[in-house]
Every structure is written in C-alpha cells, then in structure tokens.
Amino acid sequence: MTKSTRASILTVCAANVCRSPMAEFTLDDVFSRDPRFESVRVGSAGVRPAKESEVCDAVAARQEGERWSERVRAHRPSGVTPHKLAQARLILTASRSSRSTIARLAPEVRERTFTMNEALILGAGYRREGEIAGVEAVSAFAAYLDTQRGLQPLVHPRRRFPWSRVATDPLNIFDGHNAGSKAHAATVREVDAAMRRLAALIIGLPAPAREERKRVAEPA
C-alpha cells in the first residue's frame, strides 16, 4: 500500500520506521488472508518521522513472503496529518505520547484513537455482531472500544525488559529501536503479537493466547 492510499486503520509511532510499520504490515498480513476483509487498508505514520528511507532490519526480517517484502520495499517514513487521521476508522498508537499528539492535532478523532495495548484491554470482551466484515467491522470495533473507556481497570506499571531500570507504562509499547538488539527484538515481537490479537478480535477469530496482566485493585 502506498502512503497515498486511504487507510481504514492507521498505526502511529514516533519515527515510523519500527513499531508503526510493524503493526501496519502485521495487520495487512492477517486481513489479506480473509476475503471478507480485503477492503481493509492499513497505513502507518510517525509524529516525528525519521529521515531514513526504510523500515528497520528487524521489521523487514520478521516474516517471509512476497507481500511482506513488497510492503517493506515500498515503505517510506511519513508524518501524521489531519487528512490521514480523518480518513481512518481506527487509529492505533504505540504510546500515550503519540495518542496525545493526535488529540491535539485532530481532537475530533479522539473517539477512535487508542494505544495498541489500550485497545487490547478495552477490546477483551468484544464479539463481532452478525456478518459485518471489512471496513464496517473495523468501525464497529472502534465504536465498541470507545464505549469501554473508563469501564476497564488499569494495569500495574511494569518493567518491560529485565535489564531496564525504567518501569514502562502498561499502555505503551516500549521503543526498543535504539535500545540494543534484545530490546529491539522484544519490541518487534510485542507489536506483532498485539496486532494479531487485535486482528483476531475484529475478524471474529479465537485470539492467540496472551500473558495475563496484573490489574490495579479497585478502591474499596
């Protein structure tokens, strides 16, 4: 998909060379395998797009296949714009900071903007209604997530990587791009797994198993 193509789902990170293209390619891979969801177009952007002309090597090597390779070759970092946000039915960010940037840039899209991990938490009980598919199913999923805001308990901050002294926000996916090979590989795996779980929810397939998250105790 070229950057000029209208995206039904827009994934967003800081530089648009690692987390958001990984999310874009994974979602496209899942949707392309189901004829009912071939109309869903996935794009990505960065709030501070990098000058590099390609995705990172870890993303490029994550999966084999011509479709994946084509997307890797075609990718060029691009920035978030109000036009891209207005077109997207669902916007998924890698971090709260990117979500906040989008809220300032286009307040009207807040109801369909979530961090990737936030969407997993809010979408845990989602069941696709009837035979809706394609872009309509994406819109229905985004609408459901919005109804769940404030209803799902938060999760404890946790250390994303054992060698890191910084406790990560549970709604963020850590930017491991420049944090060493282990951190980088872990980031790519986390994005891939999160997007496959989200795609399964949208399509109506059994979600892959995921690690149970510790929840904050509700006040007495």
Asked whether residue 98 carries a pLDDT value surpassing 80, the answer given is: yes
Asked whether residue 46 carries a pLDDT value surpassing 80, the answer given is: yes
Asked whether residue 4 carries a pLDDT value surpassing 60, the answer given is: no
Residue reference for tokens 């193509």: 5
- The pair of structure tokens assigned to 114 is 């979530």
pLDDT bucket at 216, cuts 50 / 70 / 90: very low
Tens of pLDDT along 149-198? 988 776 655 555 554 555 578 899 988 888 888 888 899 999 999 999 99
Instruction: Tell which residue, 112, 146, 144, 152, has the closest CA to residue 128.
Output: 144
The confidence score (pLDDT) of residue 57 equals: 87
Which residues, in sequence order, are CB contacts of 150 under 8 Å at separation 6+? Answer: none
| CA 202 – CA 123 distance, rounded (Å) | 9
- Residues of the chain with pLDDT > 90, as a percent, come to 60
Phi, psi values for residue 101, rounded to 5°: -60, -40
The confidence score (pLDDT) of residue 156 equals: 58
The confidence score (pLDDT) of residue 3 equals: 46
- Residues of the chain with pLDDT > 70, as a percent, come to 85
What secondary structure letter does DSSP report for 173? -
Tell whether pTM > 0.85.
yes
The confidence score (pLDDT) of residue 191 equals: 96
- In what helix (H) or strand (E) does residue 83 lie, and over which residues does it extend? helix 82-87
Mean residue pLDDT across the chain: 86
Name which CATH class applies to 9-203: alpha beta
Instruction: Tell which residue, 2, 9, 1, 5, has the closest CA to residue 113.
Output: 9
Tens of pLDDT along 48-87? 999 877 888 889 888 888 889 998 899 999 999 999 999 9
The confidence score (pLDDT) of residue 155 equals: 67
